[in-house]
Amino acid sequence: MHLLRSGVTLALLAVAVANAANRESSKRIEEREFGRMPDGTVVRQFTLRNTNGMVAKVISYGATITELQTRDRNGALTNVVLGASTLDEYVKGVNAAAVIGRVANRIAGAKFTLDGVEYKLAANNGPNHIHGGRLGFAKVAWQAEALPIGERAASVRFTYLSKDGEEGYPGNLTVKVTYTLSDDNALRIDYEATTDKATPVNLTNHAYFNLAGTSDVLDHELWLAADRYTPADDQLIPTGKIASVKDTLLDFTTPTRIGARIEQLKPKPNGYDHNFVINGGGESLVLAARATEPKSGRVMEVRTTEPGVQLYTGNHLKHSALCLETQHYPDSVNKPDFPSTILRPGETFKSTTVFAFSAR
């Protein structure tokens, strides 16, 4: 009888442990239907949580971050990413923290030549191509799966097949993007891609951040690990040169209010919309930027394996948010002296960006 009771006790204990683990898993990640696209495709939303109360919500439409709740110095949670509550708003073009591809940023003249073949793309930014085209990766449905719960993190992976010829690009490109929310209050984005034909690839996330959660970002202080930038023409196409930020309006090598010099950039581009060359960027994960909101005390650090970061201050949104788009430089496919964006069969594109949050 004693052995039987021990066996029963152990079995009940195992069940209790399993139930506790299941409860913990359900707290870490939840999945629900977010809406349906016009063709009936179901869009899923995944809610990731960590043990500190931080919340990240992402949907399978554009692999988009819809919400990112972080704490201020008093412990209050606020959403720090511009987004929307319905799928219809995203389909209609609300500013979204979506994955941008096949090539982020601009391509001059909406064309490039690769291996002796000229490829023509959609001219959706004046005469130029921007952010992958009319749909790109931001306005399509991705496949999604929640990954096994980690000891100190929760992850969801999105997969998309960009077919040969889509938006004018060559090759069938398979893209995987994994979001991981960890207990150290960091949202990590891992990008991976393979192709069956040589093609340019430059992936980023176009999240619009406001660390106060309201008003504008002009009082945010910004530091960039960037002594240099890529000068551009009046259409924001890089000239191909790399210049020092010293004694320019683009020097954020010491923490500086975003609004301190922004008026001098008007009327065009009406604020910051510049690509910076990250010191030591392009190989290992390095600290690229730090944004601080003085009233809430929130701090966001950006680490990346990418060589560049585009600072955009929501110029069409009255500076209500800022973007720090980790990426290769704009128009790299037409600039042989820039780091290459060409992915070939047998190779795997990999890139990581981490947005880490704290308060002080």
Tens-place pLDDT, residues 285-295: 999 999 999 99
- In a domain? residue 6: no
Residue 5: cis peptide before it, omega within 30 degrees of 0:
no
Query: What share of the chain in percent tops pLDDT 90?
Result: 89
pLDDT at 268: 86
**How far apart, in whole angstroms, are the C-alpha atoms of residue 20 and residue 40?**
37
Structure token pair of residue 41: 């495709």
- In a domain? residue 54: yes
Tens-place pLDDT, residues 166-214: 999 999 999 999 999 999 999 999 999 999 999 999 999 999 999 999 9
**Per-residue CA distances from 28 to 66, 142, 149, 156, 187 (Å):** 17, 22, 7, 11, 14
- Residue pair 191/176 in contact (Cβ under 8 Å)? The answer is yes
Find how far residue 348's CA is from the centre of its chain.
19
Mean pLDDT of the chain: 93
- In a domain? residue 303: yes
* Eight-class DSSP state of 285: -
Strand-pair category, 199-200 with 186-195: unpaired
**How far apart, in whole angstroms, are the C-alpha atoms of residue 108 and residue 128?**
5
**How far apart, in whole angstroms, are the C-alpha atoms of residue 157 and residue 138?**
15
How many structural domains is the chain composed of?
Answer: 1
**Per-residue CA distances from 5 to 1, 11, 13, 18, 323 (Å):** 6, 10, 12, 20, 61
Tens-place pLDDT, residues 17-38: 334 444 444 589 999 999 999 9
Structure token pair of residue 54: 């931080």
Residue 155, domain CATH: 2.70.98.10
Q: Which domain holds residue 247?
A: 30-359
List Cβ<8 Å contacts ≥24 apart for 164-169. 164/196, 164/197, 166/102, 167/102, 167/121, 167/122, 167/132, 167/133, 167/134, 167/135, 167/136, 168/119, 168/120, 168/121, 168/122, 168/133, 169/102, 169/103, 169/119, 169/121, 169/199, 169/200
Output the pTM of the full model: 0.92
**Per-residue CA distances from 114 to 89, 197, 344 (Å):** 37, 11, 11
- In a domain? residue 15: no
- In a domain? residue 8: no
Model confidence at 263: pLDDT above 80: yes
Token pair 């980023």 in the structure block, residue: 204
Structure token pair of residue 321: 């948010």
pLDDT at 283: 85
Strand-pair category, 55-59 with 228-229: unpaired
- In a domain? residue 95: yes
Q: Indicate the SS3 state at residue 29.
A: strand
* Eight-class DSSP state of 64: E
Which residues participate in catalysis according to the annotation?
Answer: 206, 325
pLDDT at 26: 52
- In a domain? residue 229: yes
**How far apart, in whole angstroms, are the C-alpha atoms of residue 58 and residue 240?**
36
pLDDT at 1: 37
| H/E stretch holding 303 | strand 298-304
- Residue pair 138/64 in contact (Cβ under 8 Å)? The answer is yes
- In a domain? residue 20: no
pLDDT at 27: 84
Tens-place pLDDT, residues 108-161: 999 999 999 999 999 999 999 999 999 999 999 999 999 998 888 999 999 999
